[in-house]
Amino acid sequence: MAKILVADDDREVRELSIFTLRFAGHDVLSATNGEEAVIQAKVYGPDLIIMDVRMPKMNGYEACKILKSDATTSSIPVIFLSARGDESDVQAGLNAGAVDYIQKPIAPDQLAEKVRSYLHRAGK
């Protein structure tokens, strides 16, 4: 299956996402902040990144912009998974380069289905 990077500073959300995606057959990497996410993306080249918006050291919007401006990571799709769900937050995420913006909370089976559906559409 796909290699997915989950970046979230909330340990419970991160671990549930990791468990859910591993159970669905994916190889999952994790990061606890935006800075780690950028580094891991450059080192491991995941097929997809699921990232929170509010994180320490570097927020998700900043991390996404950096990833999209780097030739080695610009093609990696980013999906934001965030408690922030106002239209302005969603638009900021899409403007940063994300392909989708999912509002928390999301049930594990819904997360797995969203990822499966996206990867299928992307041909991965």
Instruction: Assess whether pLDDT exceeds 80 at residue 124.
Output: no
pTM over 0.75: yes
Write out pLDDT tens, residues 48-68.
999 999 999 999 999 999 999
Class of domain 3-121: alpha beta
Write out pLDDT tens, residues 63-83.
999 999 999 999 999 999 998
* Domain spans, the chain: 3-121
Q: For the residues 80-102, what does the mean pLDDT come to?
A: 91
Tokens 């891991």, residue?
40
Phi, psi of 64, rounded to the nearest 5 degrees: -65, -45
